[in-house]
Amino acid sequence: MRITLYIIFFLFTLNTSFIKKAFRNNSLARWVVEKSSSLNIQGETNINSFECDVTEYLRPDTLVYLKNDGAKKLCFTNSGLTIDVRRFDCHNKFITEDFRNALKADESPNLKILFITIDQFSNNSNSQVVKGIVDIELAQVVKRSEINYTVKTLPGNRIQMNGSHIFSFSDFKLKAPKKLAGLIRTKDQIKVNFQLFFKAIQ
């Protein structure tokens, strides 16, 4: 019995020292999303290709993360971006309206990108490719995705993160637009490109 208690005590001490060490290596920081951030979607129909953009990020969102200096890993705490789907401009009034309808913009107008983690992040990087995990919520469906970002540190504590990922309308239980009994149709896959600018705040 005594030996068991000694083992439990030893393990507890060991564990708390790990936690303390882990906390010593972690630091909390914030990124403010800059207005110049943009999102672009590329798609194809059986007529043409199209591009839809949101070129201005108007919400004052802040991403809060815990950085593990040893592992160079950023763990975000309930931090994300919210984009108004109704602001997508496809540079063609018919496609813009149809695209917004396909994304169910009237029912759920927000596209949410929730940052989960970013691996191998360095504060001084010049076009370094890092891996990140995000939850994307669209039309009330959440999809977890792994995204490769190209990170660039800019002067004035600013960070630029570019990335792209291929999604399908069906990932979010949406239907790609089809007209005229399916003779006119949009392909299910769309490529989402984003260019994010952050201002780091300690």
In the complex, the residues that contact another protein under the rule CB under 8 A are 45-48, 92, 94-95, 97-98, 101, 175, 177-185
Least spacing, CB of residue 141 vs another protein, in Å? 19
User: For the chain, give me the number of helices (H) and strands (E)?
Assistant: 2, 12
Closest contact distance (angstroms) between CB of 47 and another protein is 5
Alpha-carbon separation of residue 10 from 2, 6, 29, 40 (angstroms): 12, 6, 34, 55
Torsion (CA) 202, 116, 99, 93 in degrees, nearest 10: 10
Residue number, 155 or 182, with CB nearest to another protein: 182
Q: How far is the CB of 50 from another protein (least distance, A)?
A: 9
Shorter beta-carbon distance to another protein: residue 60 or 182: 182
Q: Which is nearer to another protein, 37 or 186 (CB)?
A: 186
Residue with tokens 């972690």: 26
Nearer to another protein, 90 or 113 (CB): 90
Least gap, CB of 166 to another protein (angstroms): 22
Three-class secondary structure assignment of 40-75: EEEEEECCCEEEEEECCCCCCCEEEEEEECCCCEEE
Smaller CB separation from another protein, 3 or 180: 180
Nearest distance from C-beta of residue 129 to another protein, angstroms: 36
Q: Coil, strand, or helix at residue 176?
A: coil
Q: How far is the CB of 53 from another protein (least distance, A)?
A: 17
Residue 95: enclosing H or E segment and its boundaries?
helix 93-102
- Whether residue 103 contacts residue 43, with contact meaning beta carbons closer than 8 Å, is answered with no
**Closest CB to another protein among 1 and 180?**
180
Length of the chain: 202
Residues 112 and 136 sit within 8 Å (Cβ to Cβ): yes
